[in-house]
């Protein structure tokens, strides 16, 4: 009997046929749904008799999991699983997996791009020139500045490697690593307060947990230099957006570059429209290479879990 696998992410398999072939060869019948059109009740109904789920950023709640009595595996089409109720999945015996190596290069690329963009005001300058202006626009260099990395996982390490091309000094705050591990990655381990006080660019690469939510708050922003920039390509909830708005409008920091927000789409986020902010719509993982990698990994997670009970990259 074939396995029903619900695909609840629009980008799955859009850059390659291989992920669909992996599912088919593994005895799976994929059912693609438009996550933007489904209510929670409709999402729960389509999962009611599903064996597997490949999901993007659509929340997977305890109620949805409880309604899916046949569900054996959920694979995130990416890395972060903070939108999946892990306790509910564990209680029901549902394996949760992710794709840890799929997109870190893409996110690291974007991080450096945002850093340069906010330092040189590239989006604002481009818009001004296209509007007929031709003036002298002044920014700051990235070359030989101090970069502070909050979190040194795969993305953080990728950013550190790229920063060497700009001859940057790299400070790292990561309570889960040893000094030797940080030094091996080309950084210097420091406390968070020291990193905030010394860095010219503070780049966030921590997971969202109870401990990290709003770790960049008013107090943290006050510790940063008035010439410093904040870059966030991790999770929007790491930053208190009201506090960030105050810091940006009161000259406490020079600017911010954000790919993620507390609420997405950000709607009426106070930081939108500020002249010293560069924003992108959570596109860190959206490259052809990352989408292909994540799609293949997610398909393999589901197939292996359904066939053996163990996904390739288990989270829980």
154 catalytic per annotation:
no
**Catalytic annotation, pick one of 77, 282, 300, 313:** 282
Both structure tokens of 193: 């307060």
210 catalytic per annotation:
no
The DSSP symbol for 236 reads G
Q: For residues 65-102, b (16+ Cβ closer than 10 Å) or e, as one string?
A: beebeebbbbbbbbbebeebbbebbeeeebbbbbbbeb
**Catalytic annotation, pick one of 264, 288, 289, 310:** 264
The CA-based angle 107-7-85, given to 5 degrees, is: 70
Stretch (H or E) spanning 255: strand 255-258
**Catalytic annotation, pick one of 58, 154, 162, 235:** 235
Q: Distance of CA 208 to CAs 115, 236, 247, 293, 308, Å?
A: 22, 9, 22, 23, 30
> Cβ(148)–Cβ(168) under 8 Å?
no
58 catalytic per annotation:
no
> Cβ(228)–Cβ(201) under 8 Å?
yes
Q: Provide the annotated active-site residues.
A: 235, 264, 282
């Amino acid at each position: 009997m074939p396995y029903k696998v619900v695909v609840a992410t629009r980008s799955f398999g859009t850059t390659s046929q291989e992920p669909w072939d992996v599912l088919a060869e593994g005895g799976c019948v994929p059912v693609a749904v438009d996550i933007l059109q489904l209510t929670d009740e409709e999402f729960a109904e389509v999962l009611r008799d599903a064996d597997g789920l490949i999901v993007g950023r659509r929340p997977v709640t305890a109620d949805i999991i409880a309604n899916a009595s046949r569900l054996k595996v959920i694979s995130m089409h990416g890395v972060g699983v903070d939108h999946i109720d892990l306790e509910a999945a564990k209680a029901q015996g549902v394996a949760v997996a992710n794709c840890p190596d799929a997109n870190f290069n893409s996110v690291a690329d974007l991080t450096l791009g945002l850093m340069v963009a906010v330092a040189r005001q590239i989006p604002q300058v481009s818009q001004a020139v296209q509007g007929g202006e031709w003036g002298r626009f002044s920014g700051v260099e990235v070359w030989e500045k101090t970069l502070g990395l909050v979190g040194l996982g795969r993305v953080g390490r990728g950013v550190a490697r790229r920063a060497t091309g700009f001859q940057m000094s790299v400070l790292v705050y990561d309570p889960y690593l040893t000094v030797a591990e940080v030094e091996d990655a080309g950084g210097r381990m420091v406390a968070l307060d020291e990193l905030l006080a010394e860095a010219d660019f503070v780049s966030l690469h921590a997971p969202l947990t109870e401990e990290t939510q709003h770790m960049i708050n008013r107090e943290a922003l006050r510790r940063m230099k008035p010439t410093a920039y904040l870059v966030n390509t991790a999770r929007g909830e790491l930053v208190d957006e009201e506090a960030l708005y105050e810091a940006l409008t009161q000259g406490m920091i020079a600017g911010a570059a954000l790919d993620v927000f507390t609420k997405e789409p950000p709607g009426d986020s106070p930081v939108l429209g500020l002249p010293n902010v560069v924003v992108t719509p959570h596109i860190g993982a959206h490259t052809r290479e990352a989408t292909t990698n994540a799609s293949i990994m997610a398909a393999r997670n589901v197939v292996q879990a359904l066939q053996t009970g163990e996904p390739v990259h288990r989270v829980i």
